Amino acid sequence: MLQLQTETEQYWTETFKITDDDVDHIFSVFLEEETPLSSSEIARRLIRYRIDKEAQHLRRQIDRGEIFQPQNAYETGQNVVFPALDYTVGKIVAQRPGDNPEYGEFTVLKVDFGSGKINEFASALQVPHKLNFDLDAVEQSGDIGTANADAIFDAYSDDIIYLIEERFQQEQDVVYFAGRWFLRSLLADVGLAHLHLAEAVLVMHEGQPLNTTAILKEIGLPQEINPRLQAFSLDHALFNDERFDEVGPAGQVLWCLRELEPEEVVTVPERLRYTSIDYDWRLLTDELAALEREIDDELSNLRSPVEQLDSVTFSLNFPHRRTGTLPLSSRVRHLFPTAYETTHILMALVDGQTGEEIQGWVVREHRYVYGLAEFYRHHRLPVGAYITVRRTDDPSRVVVNFSSYRPRTEWIKLAIPGEDGRLRFEEHKRSIGAEYDDLMALGADDLKAVDALWMPTNQPDRSLANLMRELMVELARLTPQRTVHAKTLYSAVNVLRRCPPGPIFATLVARPEFKHVGGPYWRVT
């Protein structure tokens, strides 16, 4: 059987490396096709190239009539090609009769491969051998180089693509955008005038995103240029101009002007900004660690669950309620679209109560989704409301919902600014029409006054422990046991300072002024 090296597993898993010749071939493909290619498309072409290259090499050897087969006889001094040794050429320097009753009469060839080492091979064998093949049949059938490139791609594409991308990242003339590669030197010329026109087109659409094709229709690149190359060249130019922002989910390219994007997308809202606090996570008891996972704050750096659900429910905290955002926490983030190069992704948030579509912005770098302020206000959702996020068949559309019921009057904690500049809490009746976590629930009648107490603005050096103590004293007044649930404390702290549960819970354990009284409840000593 005549087997090419490119038909073996070892070739693609151990031997295969990206060579300069491979790179030159792909560059020539770019030049001939004038089309940007994905890593998968490049891998398929490279596999086919390697198969064809080996087949051509083998045909040249066959034409010389010197392919080694155990069934044939050879002469001393003859050069012979060994396919099983990667087509290495060896010179027959001696022969002797073979001695093995199982095989009958045969000849042992002594072959010198030029390294000074002599190897021996059996020839003139009268018994079948796997290295034998019908040379005439192979030549007539044309089966040389017909290895299944698709099957090779299916089996080894991950490794091949990894090596391609690793090499292309080192090539100065190679550019990458939205999952495709091309040569910088072959890009269509997109000048400053074209970019000004693109800006004007986006201004006319008042901040609404446009795909590259729509922009191309207005700016007039030469029509003789391949349309895919036109789009890639414009994308590359827009991406490298600070005025433009690519906001499409993975698989789509959509362009906006940065200056027309919401301020809360371009700049992290103050309520969501967190200055990292060092703490010893080992202080958290199993109970507190479980509570941290239950809260699932996006700043907790928790690992995403192995089983990723199509629908996730969480409690809305004060910072996200105030800014009209929702967290990209460990359980939620997989429900929202990703993108190739951008950190801002435009998408549709569907109101689960009304079916209305809301323009939403995924800000993955800072782990939040913006665009729900009106949704929260319209449905009068309190802090602590259970919000449910559900995926749809369209990755760029996500349903945001809550469990509603006929509004009823319930007691709820209200945050009230005191005259001394500290936050007080009082129980008041309010009408609520959504299920909520009563341990997290908070309200505020005078939001502007509460905002004025936000610590990063007026008390940046105030310690977390002192803040916790003041809030616990206030919260304890509302219960006969004078205790505070750890989750309630987390909710209250975040009215005044953005902080994940970890540092709060660790401070409860570490500081002597906080006493554990059983379960998740604590008291100030």
What residue segments make up the domains of the chain, in order of their start? 5-62+143-168, 79-132, 187-261, 270-524
Q: What does residue 487 show for φ and ψ, rounded to 5 degrees?
A: -70, -40
- Look at residues 310, 357, 355, 312 and name the one whose alpha carbon lies nearest to residue 330: 312
Highest mean pLDDT among 119-128, 186-195, 220-229 belongs to 186-195
Section 289-301 average pLDDT: 95
pTM: 0.76
CB-based contact 346:361 (threshold 8 Å): yes
| The pLDDT value given to residue 502 | 96
Section 502-517 average pLDDT: 96
Percent of the chain whose predicted confidence (pLDDT) is above 90: 72
Q: How far is residue 138 CA from its own chain's centroid?
A: 47
At 274-286, the pLDDT tens digits run: 989 999 999 999 9
At 215-264, the pLDDT tens digits run: 999 988 888 898 999 999 999 999 999 999 999 887 789 999 999 999 99
Buried b (16+ CB within 10 A) or exposed e, 6-36: bbeeebbeeebebeeebbeebbebbeeeeeb
| The pLDDT value given to residue 147 | 63
Tell me the HSE value of 195 on the side-chain side, using a 13 A CA sphere: 17
Section 507-520 average pLDDT: 95
- Cα–Cα distances in Å, from 43 out to 76, 108, 222? 44, 43, 30
| The pLDDT value given to residue 140 | 47
CB-based contact 168:174 (threshold 8 Å): yes
| The pLDDT value given to residue 467 | 93
Q: How far is residue 322 CA from its own chain's centroid?
A: 29
Section 89-117 average pLDDT: 88
At 139-152, the pLDDT tens digits run: 444 455 556 889 99
Crossing angle between the packed helical segments 20-33 and 39-64, to the nearest 10 degrees: 110
pLDDT at 54 over 90: no
Q: What is the token pair recorded at 411?
A: 């007691």
Domain 187-261 falls in which CATH fold? Arc Repressor Mutant, subunit A (1.10.10)
Task: Provide the sign of the torsion angle of the four alpha carbons 124, 128, 131, 132, taken in this order.
Answer: positive
Distance CA 67, CA 79 (A): 9
In CATH, 270-524 is 1.10.10.10? no
| The pLDDT value given to residue 67 | 80
Say which DSSP state 83 is in.
Answer: G
pLDDT at 38 over 70: yes
Percent of the chain whose predicted confidence (pLDDT) is above 70: 94
pLDDT at 312 over 90: yes
Mean pLDDT of the chain: 90
| The pLDDT value given to residue 141 | 43
At 376-409, the pLDDT tens digits run: 999 999 999 999 999 999 989 999 999 999 999 9
187-261 and 270-524 have identical folds: no
Section 50-70 average pLDDT: 79
| The pLDDT value given to residue 234 | 95
| The pLDDT value given to residue 142 | 47
CB-based contact 435:386 (threshold 8 Å): yes
Q: What does residue 456 show for φ and ψ, rounded to 5 degrees?
A: -60, -20
| The pLDDT value given to residue 55 | 84
Distance CA 201, CA 81 (A): 65
Crossing angle between the packed helical segments 192-204 and 212-219, to the nearest 10 degrees: 120
At 359-373, the pLDDT tens digits run: 999 999 999 999 999
pLDDT at 420 over 60: yes
